[in-house]
Chain A
Amino acid sequence: GENVEQHPSTLSVQEGDSAVIKCTYSDSASNYFPWYKQELGKGPQLIIDIRSNVGEKKDQRIAVTLNKTAKHFSLHITETQPEDSAVYFCAASRDNQGGKLIFGQGTELSVKP
């Protein structure tokens, strides 16, 4: 079945540095790739997403890139701030599967002041 691998599992950066989280997916028919941020004790919240007809998408300090040939996508956070500290999840899905998301295992990002 569909599988999404996410790396690294933990990431520690200094405030102001960039952070990169990478995911690979197995189902070549996947066409929707969201990223969620989960703070302690809360539900995941969508921070950015990308569809397979686009190679890159940016929203202020956050960007996502997609390489369909290699079946991997990445989250880039620039100028990190302490409030960026959280667990980040990538996911993949196909539209014709009712939007069911297959999640990566998560990356715990720690931004040190």
Chain B
Amino acid sequence: DAGITQSPRYKITETGRQVTLMCHQTWSHSYMFWYRQDLGHGLRLIYYSAAADITDKGEVPDGYVVSRSKTENFPLTLESATRSQTSVYFCASALDRRNTIYFGEGSWLTVV
């Protein structure tokens, strides 16, 4: 049971570069989420998706782009990375809006 797989797990990139974090889930969950985790801020929602081709902004969406062409994949793209986007990114999924949200293992991103 693979669950949620995030890749890459660790990445260092330069300011201004485009970066894509991948998220794949094997549960056929309808809902998928991207959170970022920063010291002192807990986890904050970036974007979420209720189904394929349906996405919506969360608390901190600026500088990020998402897509969901297939139910199982939910990539997060930083179009032009900035140092303030150095963070740990967590992908998550849920069967529906009333069910438990399960998190992946995280992607550590450093922007230099």
Contact = CB atoms under 8 A, between A and B. Distances in A.
B39 to A, nearest CB: 9
Interface in A31-49: 32, 34, 36, 41-46, 49
Given A43-B90, A44-B90, A104-B42, A99 B101 contact: yes
Contacts of A73: none
Interface of A: 1, 6, 32, 34, 36, 41-46, 49, 89, 95-106
Nearest to A90: B42
Contacts of A49: 100
A95 B102 CA distance: 16
Contacts, number: 61
Interface residues of B, number: 29
A44 B90 CA distance: 9
A31 to B, nearest CB: 10
A99 B90 CA distance: 16
A99 B102 contact: no
Interface string B72-104: 000000000000000000101010111111111
Interface stretch (B11-19, B44-52, B61-69): B44-52
A32 B98 contact: yes
A93 B91 CA distance: 17
A95 B100 CA distance: 12
